Amino acid sequence: MSDVTTAMVLAAGLGTRMRPLTNTRPKCLVTVNGKTLMDHMLDRLVGAGITRVIVNVHAFADLLEAHLRNRRDVEIVISDERDQLMETGGGVRKALHLLGDGPFVICNTDSIWEEPDGSAIKRLVDGFDASRMDARLMLADMTTCLGFDTPGDFTMTPPGTIALRGAALSAAWAYTGVQIVRPEIVAPEPIEPFSFKRIWERSIASGRLFGGALDGFWMHVGDPAARDAAEARLLQARAP
């Protein structure tokens, strides 16, 4: 499905784990290797053919909106959560009327990755089949990531269906914070704060939640130490 051109970037979080770097700015404006986390993600989206991005805002919303006005290569529409933080699922549900009738990409901003084989988001989108899938999540191999302090998120079968780790001690795959979804799986939800996990669990039960491998090194930038580690890796990669 190569005609997906709309995405939502989830940027309304409080960034508490990133303090003190988020004492004066939202987490998505923390820089890694001279570029904000927001711009790292927007660059990946533009590289995948995305032309329109919805961004939800809450913490330091005015500062973030001012920063986003500097982007000229993609249309950006604001979903305002100043009055109430809606969490991951609720934020998408609130913005659903802005996202259109077709499948769209959803991204967190605390995610940076290397792409040795071209656009990972484009591969994720190209492998999405709305007739069989509610959502397709970009997953990183737990052996090729940094800054991720849980024992994995998902198991994945050879055909690509995935399930949450649940009570298992570990799982081979980490969720990178990027997915493509059908709007129909979000529409039945009430407009209220909730985690997107609620939607995933329904899709898992019907065998319609799928994963796609990142096929690159993933950096989860969730706290200052992880930010420093990601920056060190990127600087090393640039060294002659």
Residue 145, classed as helix, strand or coil, is strand
3-state secondary structure string, 48-115? CCCCEEEEEEECEHHHHHHHHCCCCCCEEEEEECCCCCCHHHHHHHHCHHHHCCCCEEEEECCEEECC
Residue that has been written with the tokens 């051109």 in this structure: 5
Which pLDDT value is given to residue 76?
Answer: 98
Written as six digits, the tokens of 210 are 């799928």
Is the full-model pTM beyond 0.75?
yes
CATH number of 6-238: 3.90.550.10
Which pLDDT value is given to residue 1?
Answer: 59
Rounded Cα distance, 126 and 1, in Å: 5
Residue 234, classed as helix, strand or coil, is helix
pLDDT tens per residue, range 91-147:
999 999 999 999 999 999 999 999 988 999 999 999 999 999 999 999 999 999 999
pLDDT < 70 stretches in the chain: 1-2, 239-240
pLDDT tens per residue, range 98-113:
999 999 999 999 999 9
For 7, phi and psi rounded to 5 degrees? -140, 160
Written as six digits, the tokens of 221 are 């930038």
